[in-house]
């Protein structure tokens, strides 16, 4: 099921006669196992997966809802298939909402971050294409460094911040303007929707 969430009930109604006995894999946001159980005819096996757009380049995060009704071999095959386009993680149903929010919406927030820093670089004379390339690589490298080392992001930040240096001045400016609070509030706005 890879349509818009508001279309699912119509799709189920249209396919109701052919679904029993089949496995349904859904990537439609908000339609978890419990919701499908109520909407589907009996005998349909279900797995809800929440992917994100970086899967298009093999760097996605694919959240598998722990509660599912797939047969073991089906689940293994689907897990292996999705693992080919990113990190697959199993989450309990209660965490699929927040997991999907930070990994599904997060790429838009990172893109906004990339654009903002590119705007700053352009403001100081850099060509936009060069700015995007440099900043995107910096974000990629920073993320890989955290994943490879397992270090707390605060430790990695501190490694860059010299006493009375340039980076700590920038960190201070971000904090003065509520950077962390804005990040948390962006997630709050989605979770309250």
User: Tens of pLDDT along 56-113?
Assistant: 999 999 999 999 999 999 999 999 999 999 999 999 999 999 999 999 999 999 999 9
Number of compact structural domains in the chain: 2
Domain of 71 in residue numbering reads as 5-92
CB within 8 Å of 11: residues ≥ 6 apart: 1, 3
Same domain, 149 and 81: no
Same domain, 84 and 105: no
Same domain, 138 and 106: yes
Residue 131: the pLDDT is 98
What predicted TM-score, i.e. pTM, was given to this entire model? Answer: 0.90
Q: What is the CATH number of the domain that holds 138?
A: 1.10.3730.10
Same domain, 71 and 109: no
Tokens of 74: 């089906």
Same domain, 61 and 80: yes
pLDDT at 193 over 90: no
User: Tens of pLDDT along 147-172?
Assistant: 999 999 999 999 999 999 999 999 99
Which residue, among 10, 106, 93, has the nearest Cα to 51 in the 3D structure? 106
pLDDT at 175 over 90: yes
């Amino acid at each position: 099921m890879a349509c818009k969430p508001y279309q699912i009930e119509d799709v189920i109604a249209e396919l109701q006669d052919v679904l029993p006995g089949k496995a349904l894999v859904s990537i439609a946001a908000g339609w978890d196992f419990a919701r499908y159980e109520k909407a589907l005819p009996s005998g349909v096996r279900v797995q809800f997966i929440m992917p994100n757009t970086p899967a298009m380049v093999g760097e996605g995060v694919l959240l598998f809802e722990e509660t599912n009704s797939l047969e073991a071999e089906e689940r293994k095959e689907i897990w292996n298939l999705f693992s080919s386009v990113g990190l697959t993680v199993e989450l309990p149903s209660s965490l699929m909402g927040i997991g999907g929010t930070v990994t599904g919406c997060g790429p838009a927030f990172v893109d906004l971050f990339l654009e903002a820093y590119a705007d700053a670089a352009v403001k100081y004379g850099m060509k936009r294409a060069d700015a995007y390339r440099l900043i995107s690589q910096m974000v990629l490298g920073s993320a890989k460094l955290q994943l490879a080392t397992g270090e707390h992001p605060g430790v990695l930040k501190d490694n860059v911040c010299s006493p009375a240096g340039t980076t700590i001045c920038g960190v201070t400016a971000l904090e003065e303007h509520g950077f962390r609070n804005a990040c948390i509030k962006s997630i709050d706005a989605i979770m309250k929707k």
